[in-house]
Amino acid sequence: MQIPKNKLFSSRPLRLGCAFNLAVILFSVAAAGMTAEARTPNNGHRSLIIFAPDMLSKSLSKQLAAMAGHQDDLGERAISLIYVVGRSVSAQLGSDSITPAVKLRAHFKVGNKEFRAILVAENGDVEMLSDTPITADQLFQTTDAVPVEHKAEK
Tell whether 147 is covered by a domain. Answer: no
Residue 36 has pLDDT above 60, yes or no: no
pTM: 0.68
Range of the domain at 100: 38-135
Span 127-148, pLDDT tens digits: 999 999 999 999 999 999 876 5
Helices (H) and strands (E) in the chain, counts: 5, 5
Please name which of 29, 26, 33 lies closest in space to residue 56, comparing C-alpha atoms. 26
Q: What is the number of other CB atoms lying within 10 angstroms of the CB of residue 3?
A: 7
Tell whether 1 is covered by a domain. Answer: no
Count of domains for the chain: 1
pLDDT at 148: 59
CATH number of the domain where residue 122 is located: 3.40.30.10
Tell whether 114 is covered by a domain. Answer: yes
Averaged pLDDT score across all residues of the chain: 75
Please name which of 126, 122, 119, 125 lies closest in space to residue 140, comparing C-alpha atoms. 119
